Structure 1
Amino acid sequence: MTDFRIDIRRGALITAALALLCSLFYALPANAEPADYADCPAATLCLYSGANGTGERRDFTDTQSLESYDATWDGKTLSAKNNTALWACVYGDPGYGGHLETVKPTAADAYAAGAVSAHKLVPTRALCFTGYERCPDNRVCTFAEQNGRGAMTVHLPATDPATQNYGNSYGTGAAPKSAWNRTAKHVCFYPEPTYTGTWADPADASGQKKFGAYVVLRGESVTVPAPFAGTFRAHELVTTTGDCQ
């Protein structure tokens, strides 16, 4: 009988220990960061080829923001740890284009295969939604997407040999949706590569009212509205807006 009572007590102690251990597991936060992210150095954005901070790791500091990755890494990121004091902006396309996700300071995130092709680190989340800052001084820059995002074309002003216009003709290969005029002159955009053409006013039901040029004043950046967006084929720099064709 004595041995039987001791076994009962031992069973009770084991049961209590198991209950305590289970309670410790349940007390862990549901969103606790995987231990794998612990290898990300301080002041670094870490991109991983595997889920939850696993696989190959690539490190970037706040001076290594990239508009696009090399072919061996493009679309390869499946998780990230932003171990910096900045916001991380993660993009689906090169040139800060396509789908955008933001990662707040010290946070981690996960991605679908092929979803990450570019990133930048910025002091405020609002700066993730623009890309105008890439445009060099004294240049006209056009962008494939709104708000200065997507592929950027930097235009070096040159005199067109046929028209003598101080600007650039794009032909049919470009369709910018935003622009920044970082020159000391105004810029006149046209729907034809010959610095000509007109746009119909969408508010005019008669179709008689036309626009001959879309003007971006010196120093201004703009997301181009309808009916002009995606239709620019040339621009010229002018001293006054009255000089537009």
Structure 2
Amino acid sequence: MTTSRIDLRRGSLITAALALLCSLFFVLPANADPIPFDDCPQRQFCLYDGSGGTGTRLDVAEGGKDENYPGTALSAKNNTRMWACLYSGARYGGSLQTVKPGNSDEYVTAGVRWVVASYKLVPTRALCFTGYERCENGEVCTFAERNGRGAMTVHVPAVDPATQNLGNSYGPEAAPKSVWNRTAKHLCFYLKPDYTGTWTEDGKAYGAYVVLRGDSITVPGSLAGAFRSHELVNGTSECQ
């Protein structure tokens, strides 16, 4: 008698378990929603024109960059081993967003879009804050923003026929806020286009702002965007 009761209980438990399992199959959707950003390949940085990893996808390999990104990016996934640097301005200018390896990011918050106008993939996050690497050896490069960011102008030295200065004269559109002097000579910057001009700081007058050979600098705030000419010299005593 006892044995038959145990068998009946076992049969009831098995029947109940099968019924529960079948009910689980019935409630599962035929096509489950895809996992956000799941389609982004390994070793790729993926930009999507929809939020949440939806829409058309652009794949960028490690080390990739674009100083003038023409597309629309509303979300991103970084499946690379590098940091992704995204800028609201072209040529690594404007404000900055960074995406660490393995992370995703959204560029629409409360209906407001954050514009991606340029990007690059770099080994460390610190390199997102600079753009000096665009300047080639032997060049004088000036930048429209601090730390080598923004529009870059490469200056090809020429001898001024009137002054015989070896350098360049330019207008406000090329006036630097940061500089990299990748030449073998020193740089003397001036406030006027004719390699002259002075300014006063702490009661002392200055006639030239010097950037030594091989140095990169962010121009001090009081002089940022103020220079209109520069010359290359062998020694700083040659500055006007």
| Alignment TM-score > 0.5, same fold | yes
Q: Distance in 1 between matches of 2:77 and 2:217?
A: 33
Residue 159 of structure 1 pairs with residue 154 of structure 2: no
| Cross-structure match for 2:175 | 175
Is it true that 1:192 corresponds to 2:192 in the alignment?
yes
Structure 1 contact 199–228 (Cα < 8 Å) conserved: no
Partner of 2:225: 230
Moved more, 220-229 or 177-186: 220-229
CA distance in 2, matches of 1:128, 1:173: 24
Q: CA deviation at 1:193?
A: 0.8
Higher Rg: 2
Helix, strand or coil: the match of 1:35? Answer: coil
Larger deviation, residues 180-189 vs 40-49: 40-49
Runs of 4+ in 1 over 6 A off after TM superposition: none
Paired positions, count:
210
- CA distance, structure 2, for counterparts of residue 122 and residue 238 of structure 1: 34
SS at match of 1:179: strand
Structural RMSD (CA):
2.0
Match of 1:222, SS? Answer: strand
* Residue 210 (structure 1) aligns with: 205
Q: TM-score, normalised by structure 2?
A: 0.82
| CA–CA distance in structure 1, aligned partners of residues 126 and 58 of structure 2 | 25
- Does the Cα contact within 8 Å between 2:85 and 2:98 map onto a contact in 1? yes
Contiguous gaps of at least 5 residues in structure 2: 1-15, 28-33
Task: Read off the aligned partner of 2:228 and give its amino acid letter.
Answer: R
**Distance (Å, rounded) in 2 between the aligned partners of 1:145 and 1:157:** 22
State whether structure 2 residue 119 is matched by structure 1 residue 119. Answer: yes
Query: Secondary structure of 1:200's match?
Result: strand
Cα distance in 2 for partners of 1:156, 1:127 equals: 26
**Counterparts of 2:43 and 2:238 in 1: how far apart (Å)?**
51
Q: Distance in 2 between matches of 1:107 and 1:171?
A: 43
Letter in 1 for 2:50: G
Post-superposition offset of 1:36: 3.4
Of 212, 237, 240, the match for 1:242: 237
Q: Secondary structure at the match of 2:37?
A: helix
CA contact under 8 A between 2:68 and 2:117: conserved in structure 1?
A: yes
The 5 Å alignment of 1:87-126 reads 87-112=83-108, 113=113, 115-126=115-126
The Cα shift of 1:175 comes to 2.5
Q: 2:141 corresponds to which residue? A: 141
In the alignment, the residues of structure 2 paired with residue 239 and residue 226 of structure 1 have an alpha-carbon distance, to the nearest angstrom, of 27
How many angstroms apart in 2 are the aligned matches of 1:115 and 1:90? 9
Secondary structure of 1:242's aligned partner: helix
C-alpha deviation, 1:67, in angstroms: 1.4
Report the CA distance shift for 1:150/1:210 in structure 2 as closer, same or farther (over 3 A): same
**Contact in 1 for aligned 2:44/2:80 (Cα 8 Å):** yes
Aligned equivalents of 2:62, 2:151: Cα separation in 1: 22
TM norm structure 1: 0.81
Distance in 1 (alpha carbons) for counterparts of 2:212 and 2:170: 20
Please tell me whether the aligned partners of residues 198 and 211 of structure 1 are also in contact (alpha carbons under 8 angstroms). yes
Deviation at 1:114? Answer: 5.0
